[in-house]
Amino acid sequence: MFAYVRYPGIYPHVYWSTQLLGLFFGCGVLWEIYRGALSPFPGARRFARNVLAILVTVLLLKATLSHGLWTQNQAILTALDTERDLRLVQAILLTAVVSVFAFYSLSLGRNLRSLVFGYGIFLATSVVNLAIRGQLGERFQPTWQFLQPSLYILVLCVWSAGMWRYSPIELPRIGLRIQEDYERLARSTRIRLRALKSQVNKGIRT
């Protein structure tokens, strides 16, 4: 805002360079969501890690193959295209992480839920807006100029409301109960097998 008001001439440079910085911060937010939600659940974390590794490999492969097909004229990427593509990658990764949360029914807690929801709104709307802006060009510019800051304010409201007070993730107690049951089951099976084995041995000896 300072650059926009005092030095409007340099504003586009400031805007696009900070957007790039924003992309890196976005990766940090994704990492925090992954780490914060999955650290109490080693199984779900392992599954998510594999899913993300596969997705990143596929996306890198696709980027490499597409790059090989570019002609010199097609290879000119604007900052808007770069941002749109990187936001799409982040959106795909966040969708995968959120799907793992849903599949394993992980309780996120109020803080993390708002972080995921706020950043998710930001990513989903950014991808769609940037795609439409890229397709329609200048015609969409006035709408985009209104939509982007409005949605950003909405995201800040979601984050502020969700993170106003600290609320830790509640671990489900039933998970511990089921683990306990499973261990009891395994133990009783081992005891039965041992008893059976000793009876068989006795029978062979007699």
Considering only residues 142, 174, 202, 206, which one is a binding residue for other proteins as defined by CB under 8 A?
Answer: 174
d(CA 183, CA 189) in angstroms, rounded, equals 10
Q: Is 86 in the site for other proteins (CB under 8 A)?
A: no
Query: Which range in 64-72, 130-138, 144-152, 159-167 contacts other proteins by CB under 8 A?
Result: 130-138
Return the C-alpha torsion angle 127, 18, 56, 68, nearest 10.
90
Q: Shortest CA distance to 33 belongs to which of 123, 110, 108?
A: 108
Nearer to other proteins, 13 or 194 (CB): 194
Q: Is 82 in the site for other proteins (CB under 8 A)?
A: no
Q: Which of 189, 198, 199, 201 binds other proteins (CB under 8 A)?
A: 189
Alpha-helix residue ranges (DSSP H) falling in 70-108: 79-103
CB-CB contact of 80 with 129 (8 Å): no
Q: Would you count residue 105 as binding other proteins (CB under 8 A)? A: yes
Contacting range for other proteins; rule: CB under 8 A; set: 28-36, 57-65, 88-96, 198-206: 88-96
Size of the chain, expressed as the number of residues it contains: 206
Spell out the residues 6+ positions from residue 169 whose beta carbon is closer than 8 angstroms to its own: 36, 37, 40, 107, 108, 109, 112
154 binds other proteins (CB under 8 A): no
Binding piece for other proteins, criterion CB under 8 A, among 25-33, 129-137, 140-148, 149-157? 129-137
- 193 touches other proteins (CB under 8 A): no
- Gyration radius (Cα) of the chain, Å: 26
Q: Does 70 bind other proteins (CB under 8 A)?
A: no
CA angle 111, 18, 38 (to 5 degrees): 30
Question: Residue 1 and residue 5: Cα distance in Å, rounded?
Answer: 6
- The angle subtended at Cα 28 by Cα 33 and Cα 34, nearest 5°, is 25
Query: Binding of other proteins at residue 43 (CB under 8 A)?
Result: yes
Residue 158 binds other proteins (CB under 8 A): no
**Of the residues 13, 35, 184, 197, which one makes contact with other proteins according to CB under 8 A:** 184
Question: What does the binding site for other proteins look like in residue numbers (CB under 8 A)?
Answer: 40-44, 46-47, 50, 84, 88, 91-92, 94-95, 98-99, 101-108, 113, 116-117, 120-121, 123-125, 127-128, 130-132, 134-135, 172, 174-175, 177-179, 181-182, 184-185, 188-189, 192
